[in-house]
Amino acid sequence: MVFAPGEKPGNEPEEGKLQSASKQIVQNAILQAVRQVSQERRQREEATADKRGSFQLGVGELTKKHEKK
């Protein structure tokens, strides 16, 4: 086996630790992104539902006013 300058034999366990740490970092980043997207989607859906509710309430009020005439 040939080693690059500064590289020592027996670095394989260190490389394994680095790979494991890298995997964990990537997994955490993916989970965080999924949570963020889910939260943003929920907020958009709630905002849309609020707008629909206000619009429907407004229509109902107009109908009641119209019926009084």
Indicate the domain borders of the chain.
30-69
Q: Measure the N-to-C terminal CA separation of the chain; round to a whole number of Å.
A: 95
Tell me which DSSP letter residue 5 carries.
T
Whole-number Cα distances in Å, 56 to 18, 51, 61, 65: 57, 9, 9, 14
- State the pLDDT at residue 28: 98
Is the pLDDT reported for residue 4 higher than 70?
Answer: no
Asked if residue 9 lies in contact with residue 1, where contact means CB atoms within 8 angstroms, the answer is: yes
What pTM does this model have?
A: 0.53
- As a dihedral over the C-alpha atoms of residue 35, residue 41, residue 43, residue 47, rounded to 10 degrees, the angle is 180
- State the pLDDT at residue 43: 93
List pLDDT tens digits, range 22-66: 999 999 999 999 999 999 999 999 888 877 765 555 555 555 555
